[in-house]
Amino acid sequence: MSLPACIAIDGPAASGKSTIGNQIAEKIGYLYFDTGVMYRAITWMAWQRDASYDDEAVVTGLAESVLIDVRPPSVEDGRDYDVLVEGKDITWEIRQPEVDANVSVVSAYRGVRAALTAQQRRIGQRGQVVMVGRDIGTVVLPEAELKIYLDASPEVRARRRYEERLERGEEADLEMILENMRRRDKIDSTREVAPLRAAEDAVVIDTDDLTIEEVVAEIERLIRQFE
Ligand code: DC
């Protein structure tokens, strides 16, 4: 048997999806694709254009018309990829608190999801990809041979985000991050379209008491079962 063509990794914010997905992709020579970047890029565009995040028609129009480009990293500043929109490098802009606070509203819109899901499916169907998000195993690539759902408590996830920000030399407030995280979890998991949940055939890994290395080792073990 050969390795699974697509590996889907879903889970809430700061469950470790990005770091772990990236490491797995590197180990097996697959493309790493973080789909949250696309929802963040649309949120950033709406912010730049002073559009109201509540204006579903305008925000959906952006998702349908803007080309989001994700490429291998061109700068060595800790990034895993470049994110470009209309020729501008927005890799770090999309990590700002303003985007964090509004991306859940933007990503709940049906039209936004339809536009971005179509792009993600095209990339996934080429194979050899580790795709990370909220609805990869349930909606984007339900045919993925290996589906992982990474979970962790809000407290542990908020602390991880807090430490990431401090490491980047940014200001951070743990309580605010936790509050924001709970609010986002609620919107992401109760939205009508493609809510955050584990696919029925996903392997659920609780990462509260596991190191990144331990989670990566467990996923590698699951991948090797296909060989
Ligand atoms: O993983 P992240 O924090 O970068 O994701 C940002 C937001 O995008 C998150 O609040 C939910 C949304 N998202 C989504 O709805 N579906 C995906 N496949 C990926 C992200």
- Closest ligand 1 atom to residue 17 Cα is 1
Angstrom distance (rounded) from CA 42 to CA 44: 5
Ligand 1, atom 15, lies closest to the CA of 107
Residue among 80, 121, 134, 190 to mutate when testing ligand 1 (max atoms within 8 A of CB):
134
Residue among 35, 184, 190 to mutate when testing ligand 1 (max atoms within 8 A of CB):
35
Ligand 1, atom 8, lies closest to the CA of 36
Centroid of ligand 1 to alpha carbon of 151 (angstroms) = 14
- Closest ligand 1 atom to residue 140 Cα is 18
Which structure tokens are listed for 221? Answer: 């073990």
Centroid of ligand 1 to alpha carbon of 118 (angstroms) = 15
SS3 track for 147-176: EEEEECCHHHHHHHHHHHHHHCCCCCCHHH
Give the chain's length: 227
Which structure tokens are listed for 142? Answer: 């339900």
Check residue 160 and give its pLDDT: 92
Ligand 1, atom 3, lies closest to the CA of 13
pLDDT means over runs of 10, the chain (227 residues): 91 92 95 95 97 97 92 88 92 93 94 95 91 96 96 95 90 93 90 92 96 96 91
CB-based contacts of 105, cutoff 8 Å, min separation 6: 53, 54, 187
Check residue 99 and give its pLDDT: 95
- Closest ligand 1 atom to residue 107 Cα is 15
Centroid of ligand 1 to alpha carbon of 133 (angstroms) = 6
- Closest ligand 1 atom to residue 184 Cα is 10
- Closest ligand 1 atom to residue 108 Cα is 15
List all residues whose CB is within 6 A of at least one atom of ligand 1.
13, 35-36, 39-40, 103-104, 107, 133-136, 184, 188
SS3 track for 186-225: HHHHHCCCCCCCCCCCCEEEECCCCCHHHHHHHHHHHHHC
Phi, psi of 74 (to 5 degrees): -105, -10
Check residue 50 and give its pLDDT: 96
pTM of the model: 0.91
Phi, psi of 109 (to 5 degrees): -75, 130
- Where does 6-220 sit in CATH, by number? 3.40.50.300
